[in-house]
A and B are shown apart, each in its own frame.
Chain A
Amino acid sequence: MISLLSYLCNGISLGSVYAIIALGYTMVYGIAKMLNFAHGDVIMIGAYVTFCAIQYLGLPPMVSVLLAMVACTLLGVIIERLAYKPLRQASSLAVLITAIGMSYLLQNVALLLWGSNPKSFPSVVNLGSLSFFDGQLLISGETIVTVVMNIIIMVGLTLFTGKTKMGKAMRVVAEDKGAAELMGINVNLTISITFAIGSALAAVAGVLLCSAYPTLMPTTGSMPGIKAFTAAVFGGIGSIPGAMLGGILLGVIEILGKAYISTELGDAIVFAVLIVVLLVRPTGLLGKPVREKV
C-alpha cells in the first residue's frame, strides 16, 4: 500500500515536470495554432542560462531564474520574428518543419557554446522533503515547488486569457485571425506576445526540470519536450487545465507502468495509452470538440 502511494507520489513528481512544459506548448498552440517543436530546446537554453548565472556569475538562484526568463523571452521573440513570422501565410506543414529545424539549430548552438560534456544542475529549491509514515513515503521539495508553480501558472494563464485585454485579444486571434484583424487587433503583436510568454514559461520549466533531474546537456530538452507535447495532446491541446491534467496523468501512468509491468516498457505504455485516449476522445481529455464547418 505504501509502495503504491510512493509510486503515485513519484508519478506526480515526474508528471508535474511534464505538465509545466506542456503548459507552454499548449499556450502557443492554442493561440498561434502552431506546434513549436523548439519549445523543449528553449527549456534547455533556459536551464543553461540559469546554470551559468549560478555557477560562473555567482548570482543567487532567484535572480538567475529571472535572468533566464528574460533571456528565454528574448530568444522566443527573436525565433518568432526570424523563423515563424515570415511563414504566417505559409502552410502549417512548412511552419512545422521550420520548428523542427529550429529545434536542431538550438541544440547545436548549445553544443558549440557549452560543449558536449553534461553538467550537473544545482537545485534551486532549498526545501527539504516531506516525510510520512516514518520516512517510508517521501515527497521532495522539488516536487512540491513544481506542483505549486504548475497551479500558479495555470491559474495565472487562465486569468490572463480570460480577464485582460491582451488575453482577450489572444483568444480572438485563436478563434479567427482574419476577423481579429478586421476588428483592429494587431495579430502579429498578439502572436509575438504569446511566444514571449510561452518562452518565459519555458525558462521556469527548464529550471524545475533540471532541479528534479539534475543533468544538463544540449539534448536535455528533447525527450521531455516530446513527452510534454504528448501530455498536451492527451489533455486536449489548447486547453490550459488539460495540459496540467495530461502531464500529471502521463507521469503517473509512466511510473505505475514501470513499477507494475516493466521498467523497460514505461515509454511504450505511455504512448499506448495516448493512442487509446485519442481513439476514444480525438480532442483529448479536456479538449473542446470542434464542429466541422460546412
Chain B
Amino acid sequence: MKKMIALVLALAMALTMTAFATAEDAGTIKIGVIGPMTGAAATYGTAVANGAQIAAEEINALGGVQLELLVQDDEHDAEKAINAYNTVMDGGAQFILGTVTTSPCIAVAAQAYEERVFMLTPSASSTEVTDGKDNVYQVCFTDPAQGTASAEMISEKALGTKIGVIYNSSDAYSTGIYQAFEAKATELGLEVVTAQAFASDDNADFSVQLSACKNAGADLVFLPIYYTPASLILAQAKSMEYAPVFFGVDGMDGILTLEGFDASLAEGVMLLTPFSAASTDEKTQAFVAKYQEAFGETPNQFAADAYDGIYALYTAVQNAGITAETSPEDACELLIAQFPTLQIDGLTGALAWETSGEVTKTPNVYVIEGGVYVKME
C-alpha cells in the first residue's frame, strides 16, 4: 500500500514537473545579441539592439513562441566580443544575432563554428565572416556584392564617365567594396581615373583626396564609406567648389539623420541601399514610426537588418520546431538546414539565402532631392 502511494505521488510529481516545464519553455527562446553598445561604433550596435527589440516585441505580442534577447556589449573589439559571446552562452542563449561589426564578428564566428552555435549577423558584411563556416549567415549584402551592383548601376544609367573613388583602406568593408567595384567597373568599360585612400576612421581632412579627384577630372566620385566621413567630404567638396555626382553605398544611409547636417550639401547624392527610412511602403513606415516612438531616432539600415534577422530566425525556429529545450548544438544543425529554404519578405527586400551564408536581395538606388530620398527607377 505504502509503495502504491509512493508510486502515485512520484508519478504525480513527474507529471506536474513536465507540465510546468512545457508551459514555461515552449515559449522562451533565448537569443544572444552582441554588438558595440558603447564606444565609437555604438551607433551600429544600439541600432541593431533596438531593431531586434522591436521585432521581438512584435513576435511576443503574437503569443506562441516567446523570444528573449540577451544583449551584450563588445565595444567593437574582437577580444571583448569573445567575452560577450561567452556571457550570452552562459546565460542560456541558443543562437546568436550578431555580431554587428566585421572584425569582432570574424573572431566570434570562429569560436561559434568550433562550438557549433548558429550565428546570423545583421551587418558584418565581409565574406571573411562566412568563409568556410556553415553556421554563419548574413542579413546584409556582402561587400563585393555592393561594389559589383554599384558599378552595374553606374554603367546602366550612364551616371558618369570618369570615376574617382575615395575609400578607407583601414576598413575591410570599404576596401572590399572598392576592390569589387573596380574589377566590375573595368569589366564594364567604366574609366576609374583615380582611387584615393585614407587610412583612419578619425581622418577629418579630405582636401588632398578631393583635389586629386578634381584634378583627374572625375565627374562621379564613388564613396564606399560610412556617412560620417562622407558628410565631411561633401562639406569640403563644397568649400572647394567641386561638384561631381557623389555615389554611396549602404554606409551612406543615415547621412540625412545626422543631427545638424545641412541637407543641401547632400543634394543630388546617390546611394545604393536595401533599406531607407524614407521609403513609403507600409511596412517600413510602421517600423519607422514604432522605432521613433520607442527610441526617439530614425532607424538606419542596421536596425532594419536586425529586425529582418529576428523575423528570419523566428520563422526558422517555427519551421524547425525549436523549443527552449533545444540545445545550442541541435538548434545550430536545425537552423543550418532551415536557412537556405527560407523566403523572408522583410524591410530590406525579399530575402533568401545561399548555403554559403550569403543573402540575396535587390538593392535600390535613391537620389537625395530636397532633403528626402527619391527612388531612382
**At the interface, yes or no: A89 with Cβ under 8 Å from chain B?**
no
CB-CB contacts below 8 Å: B58-111 with A? none
Query: Does B207 have its Cβ within 8 Å of any Cβ on chain A?
Result: yes
B193: CB under 8 A from chain A? Answer: no
- Select which of B43, B198, B257 is within 8 A of A116 by beta carbon: B43
Task: Find out whether the CB atom of B202 lies under 8 angstroms from the CB atom of A263.
Answer: no
Find chain A residues with CB under 8 A from B199 CB: 263-267
* A259, B260: Cβ atoms closer than 8 Å: no
Q: CB-nearest residue of chain B relative to A268? A: B199
Q: Do residues B241 and A138 form an inter-chain contact, with CB atoms below 8 A?
A: yes
- Which residues between 215 and 268 of chain A lie within 8 Å of chain B, taking CB atoms? 215-217, 219, 222-224, 254-255, 258-259, 263-267
Q: Is A282 an interface position by the 8 A CB rule?
A: no
How many Å from the CB of B298 to the closest CB on chain A? 10
Question: What are some 15 contacts across the A-B interface (CB < 8 A)?
Answer: A3-B211, A3-B215, A108-B38, A119-B260, A120-B260, A120-B261, A122-B262, A213-B232, A214-B231, A214-B235, A217-B40, A223-B204, A254-B205, A265-B199, A266-B199
Q: Which of B39, B196, B199, B207 has the most CB of A within 10 A?
A: B207
Residues of A near B215 (CB, < 8 A) are 3
Nearest Cβ on chain A to B198's Cβ, whole angstroms:
6
Check if B259 sits within 8 Å of A263, measured CB to CB. Answer: no
Interface residue tally for chain B (C-beta within 8 Å): 36
The verdict on A73 contacting chain B, using a C-beta distance below 8 Å, is no
Residues in B whose Cβ lies below 8 Å from that of A138: 239-241
Inter-chain contact A111/B208, CB cutoff 8 Å: no
Which listed residue (A7, A119, A266) contacts B259, Cβ 8 A?
A: A119
Question: Are B262's CB and A116's CB within 8 A?
Answer: no
A118 CB to nearest chain B CB (Å): 5
Does B317 reach chain A (CB closer than 8 Å)?
no
Q: Which residues of B contact A7 (CB under 8 A)?
A: 207-208, 211
Contact of B231 among A10, A120, A223 (CB under 8 A): A120
B204 touches A215 (CB 8 A): yes
Q: Which residues of chain B are near A111, meaning CB under 8 Å?
A: 38-39, 42
- List of A residues within 8 angstroms of B196 by Cβ: 263
A105–B265 CA distance with the chains assembled, in angstroms: 34
List residues of A whose CB falls within 8 A of some B CB: 3, 6-7, 10, 13-14, 51, 55, 108, 111, 116-122, 129, 135, 138, 140, 213-217, 219, 222-224, 254-255, 258-259, 263-267
Within the complex, which residue of A6, A14, A254 is in contact with B211, where a contact is CB–CB below 8 Å?
A: A6
Q: Is B360 positioned at the interface, with any CB of A under 8 Å from its CB?
A: no
6 tightest A-B contacts by CB?
A: A116-B42, A120-B261, A264-B199, A213-B204, A223-B202, A10-B207
A10 to B214 CA separation, bound complex (whole angstroms): 15
B364 within 8 A of A: no
| Closest chain B CB from A266 CB (angstroms) | 8
Report yes or no: B198 in contact with A264, Cβ–Cβ below 8 A. yes
Bound Cα distance A263, B212 (Å):
10
CB distance from B54 to the nearest CB of A (A): 18
Answer yes or no: B150 CB below 8 A from chain A CBs: no
Tell me which residues across on chain B come within 8 A of A213, comparing CB atoms: 204-205, 232
- Among the listed A116, A118, A140, A214, which residue makes an inter-chain contact with B46, where contact means beta carbons less than 8 Å apart? A116
Kindly provide the distance from the CB of B351 to the nearest chain A CB, expressed in whole angstroms: 27
Interchain nearest-CB distance for A272 vs B (Å): 15
Note all chain B residues with C-beta closer than 8 A to A223.
Answer: 200, 202, 204
Q: Assess A116 versus B38: contact at CB under 8 Å? Given A214-B232, A214-B235.
A: yes
Cα-based distance from A116 to B260 in the complex (angstroms)? 15
Closest chain A residue to B45 by CB distance? Answer: A116
**Chain B stretch 5-53: residues in CB contact (< 8 A) with chain A:** 38-40, 42-43, 46
Kindly name the residue among B38, B43, B199, B208 whose own CB sees the greatest number of chain A CB atoms within 10 A.
Answer: B208
Q: Which residues of B contact A255 (CB under 8 A)?
A: 205, 207-208
Whether B259 pairs with A117 at a CB distance below 8 angstroms is yes
Pairwise interchain contact B208-A51, C-beta atoms closer than 8 A: no
Answer yes or no: B148 CB below 8 A from chain A CBs.
Answer: no
Q: A264–B200 Cα gap in the complex (Å)?
A: 8
Shortest distance between the CB of B303 and any CB in chain A (Å): 12
Residues of A within 8 A of B329 (CB): none
Contacts of B239 in A (CB 8 A): 129, 138, 140
Residues of B within 8 A of A258 (CB): 208
Instruction: Evaluate contact between B258 and A118: CB separation under 8 angstroms.
Output: yes
Q: B170 — nearest CB in chain A belongs to which residue?
A: A264
A219 contacts B197, CB within 8 Å?
Answer: no
Contact residue among B202, B208, B232, B260 (Cβ-Cβ distance under 8 Å from A10)? B208
